[in-house]
């Protein structure tokens, strides 16, 4: 998979959004010999980061204005509510898909995650990694991750989700969204520990693109998606209220 620069004049936002996402590859392996830099600028391979334990892998970039932070916060909330301990039972590995990201940015992101998690002040099991374009592409290709850099707005168009891998680097499951159900995450980690590849992997993922930091708003493509989802939610609530009212009327008539 290539993370390619985009020219806004050549492609519309809708075209770009169609080209980004995550194509699940359950059962395939990540490149364990791929080498990245950790928060201290030390080189570390994915094999060393896994250390024969299951892991939650998350692809981010540390300057993401919205979705990466939401996904990271959702992950911390979920792992804070499960019995398994980061570092003892599984690893959390966040890898930046932006080759321009630095270990300094990774360190800031890692400290924020550790502080929110609260269970292990020393940060055992928490990895925030940066790397070269070549090593990033080896990993993103293996997990089916596709993103585009838009030079005009200086942002990536990308999807968000969690990739669960076994201690030997086999992809066992994908989880979508930014708010993760603790029970589902716990089950996915246990299954990865047993080398069980799930058939229930997600196949649709939230996409982040066209966030304008000067206005605090997303571009029209994402705005319309949010509006449609909001409208469907309102319709669903109204339908439920009508159903309850009808049920109450029926009960009154029977009385």
Separation of alpha carbons 98 and 207, rounded Å: 16
Same domain? 204 vs 229: no
Same domain? 178 vs 233: no
Same domain? 35 vs 71: yes
User: Who's near 234: CB < 8 A, 6+ residues apart?
Assistant: none
Same domain? 190 vs 240: no
User: Who's near 252: CB < 8 A, 6+ residues apart?
Assistant: none
Same domain? 231 vs 169: no
- Domain count across the chain: 2
- Determine whether 20 is exposed, middle or buried from the number of CB atoms within 10 Å of its CB (0-12, 13-18, 19+): buried
Same domain? 71 vs 190: yes
The average confidence (pLDDT) of the chain is 82
What's the CATH number where 139 sits? 3.40.30.10
Q: What is the pLDDT of residue 63?
A: 86
Q: What angle do CA 106, 137, 55 make, to 5 degrees?
A: 55
Closest CA to 55 of 137, 127, 117, 123: 127
Same domain? 223 vs 207: no
Same domain? 194 vs 239: no
Give CA separation, 107 vs 26, 37, 60, 92, 213, in Å: 30, 11, 14, 14, 23
pTM (2 decimals)? 0.77
Q: What is the pLDDT of residue 19?
A: 72
Tens digits of per-residue pLDDT, 71-103? 889 999 999 999 999 999 999 999 999 999 999
Same domain? 96 vs 202: yes
Tens digits of per-residue pLDDT, 193-243? 999 998 765 555 556 555 444 444 444 444 444 444 445 456 556 676 676
Same domain? 107 vs 188: yes
Q: What is the pLDDT of residue 17?
A: 67
Closest CA to 168 of 68, 67, 66, 33: 33
Same domain? 89 vs 127: yes
Parent domain of 238? 219-254
The size of the chain, in residues, is: 255
Same domain? 22 vs 117: yes
List, in sequence order, every residue forming a beta bridge with 55; answer none if it has no partner: 91, 165
Q: What is the pLDDT of residue 87?
A: 96
In this predicted structure, the answer to whether residue 8 has a pLDDT above a threshold of 90 is no
């Amino acid at each position: 998979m290539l993370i390619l620069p985009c020219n806004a004049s050549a492609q519309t936002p809708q075209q770009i959004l169609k080209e980004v996402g995550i194509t699940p590859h359950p059962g395939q392996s990540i490149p364990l010999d791929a080498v990245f830099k950790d928060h201290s600028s030390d080189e570390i391979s994915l094999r060393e980061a896994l250390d024969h334990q299951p892991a939650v892998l998350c692809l981010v970039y540390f300057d993401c204005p919205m979705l990466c932070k939401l996904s990271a916060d959702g992950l911390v909330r979920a792992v804070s509510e499960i019995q398994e301990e980061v570092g003892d039972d599984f690893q959390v590995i966040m890898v930046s898909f932006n080759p321009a990201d630095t270990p300094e940015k990774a360190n800031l992101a890692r400290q924020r995650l550790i502080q929110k998690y609260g269970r292990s002040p020393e940060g055992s099991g928490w990895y925030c990694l940066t790397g070269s374009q070549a090593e990033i592409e080896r990993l993103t290709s293996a997990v089916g991750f596709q993103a585009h850099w838009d030079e005009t707005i200086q942002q990536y168009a990308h999807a968000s989700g969690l990739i669960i891998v076994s201690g030997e680097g086999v992809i066992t499951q994908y989880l979508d969204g930014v708010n993760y159900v603790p029970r589902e995450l716990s089950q996915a980690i246990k299954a990865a520990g047993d080398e069980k590849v799930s058939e229930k992997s997600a196949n649709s993922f939230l996409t982040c693109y066209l966030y304008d930091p000067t206005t605090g708003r997303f571009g029209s493509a994402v705005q319309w998606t949010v509006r449609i989802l909001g409208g469907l939610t309102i319709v669903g609530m109204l339908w439920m209220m009508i159903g309850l009212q009808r049920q109450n009327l029926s009960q009154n008539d029977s009385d």
